[in-house]
């Protein structure tokens, strides 16, 4: 079970033990190009060649393949593939057109939003009805997981298989998780990588941000457990593959650098776990 939210639960570790861990690499450690590649199986220069560049609406995606195979396809969360530029206005207020939603039969998300406490979503439901923009009621990871669980429950009695993506922004700056997770992580307790240079300002930032980052990861781990429990309750776990991965890493002070886009181990390595299909 996902368990008590006040107690750490290693759901990602359990998924790895029960499944297969792959050597995940982000070929372009920046969200837009990598996401375009994951969805289309094409290199960035053939799909999304840079930051805030649009994925061609007519380009087939993984949803296209699953739709053709008779699956229901659903997307919840961050998209960042419609090419909206933040300098023009807040991209969270940009409406991704229906034709730019990757062909998913059900889509509820946003183009980009670096504010997990103020997450606005829009899209269309499984009946093809447009959903006006609204604010998620809780922390983004928790709320998007709730939406995916609702979909699992709604399709409990149906015979149609489904392909569902839960695309959450956290762990991502700003690194601040809900209090019950954040309170377990203090900057002073953080162990830095040996390649973080002994510079006070770098150490201070790395410790502060990693404390929040670790809290966000722990929260995500708990939500993965909630998804697994929902599959168990729906009697679907032994028929479902769970794939856990990210789009890039973060330098977090290694080599004196922060954030992404740098071709170092910390930026290009991503978790890649294939699990599920094991009854509780």
Query: Which residues have a catalytic role annotated?
Result: 31, 80
Question: Please, what's the b/e burial string for 103-137 (b: 16 or more CB within 10 A of its CB; e: otherwise)?
Answer: bbbbbbbbbbbeebeebbbbbbeeeeeeeeeeebe
Chain centroid to CA 92:
16
Neighbours of 244 (CB within 10 A): 22
Is residue 143 within 8 Å of 136, Cβ to Cβ?
yes
- Rounded to whole angstroms, the Cα distance separating 34 from 253 reads 22
SS3 state of residue 150: helix
Residue the block writes with tokens 């050597």: 23
Question: Please, what's the b/e burial string for 248-258 (b: 16 or more CB within 10 A of its CB; e: otherwise)?
Answer: bbbbbbbbebb
């Amino acid at each position: 079970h996902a368990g008590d939210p006040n107690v750490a639960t290693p759901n990602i570790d359990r998924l790895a033990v029960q499944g297969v861990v792959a050597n995940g690499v982000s070929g372009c450690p920046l969200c837009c190009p990598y996401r375009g590649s994951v969805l289309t199986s094409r290199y960035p220069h053939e799909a999304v060649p840079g930051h805030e560049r649009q994925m061609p609406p007519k380009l087939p995606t993984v949803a296209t393949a699953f739709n053709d195979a008779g699956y229901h396809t659903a997307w919840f969360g961050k998209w960042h593939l419609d090419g909206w530029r933040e300098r023009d206005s807040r991209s969270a207020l940009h409406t991704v057109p229906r034709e730019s939603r990757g062909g998913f039969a059900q889509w509820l998300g946003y183009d980009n939003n670096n504010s997990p406490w103020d997450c606005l979503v829009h899209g269309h439901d499984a009946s093809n009805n447009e959903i006006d923009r609204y604010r998620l009621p809780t922390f983004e990871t928790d709320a998007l997981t709730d939406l995916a669980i609702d979909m699992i429950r709604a399709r409990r009695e149906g015979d149609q298989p489904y392909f569902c993506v839960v695309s959450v922004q956290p762990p991502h700056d700003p690194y601040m998780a809900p209090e019950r997770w954040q309170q377990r992580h203090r900057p002073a307790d953080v162990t830095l990588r040996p390649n973080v240079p002994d510079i006070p300002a770098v150490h201070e930032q790395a410790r502060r941000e990693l404390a929040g980052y670790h809290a966000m990861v722990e929260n995500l781990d708990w939500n993965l457990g909630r998804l697994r429990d929902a599959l168990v309750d729906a009697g679907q776990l032994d028929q479902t593959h769970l794939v856990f991965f990210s789009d890039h890493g973060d330098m977090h002070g290694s080599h004196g650098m922060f954030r992404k886009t740098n071709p170092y181990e910390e930026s290009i390595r991503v978790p890649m776990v294939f699990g599920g299909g094991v009854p509780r």
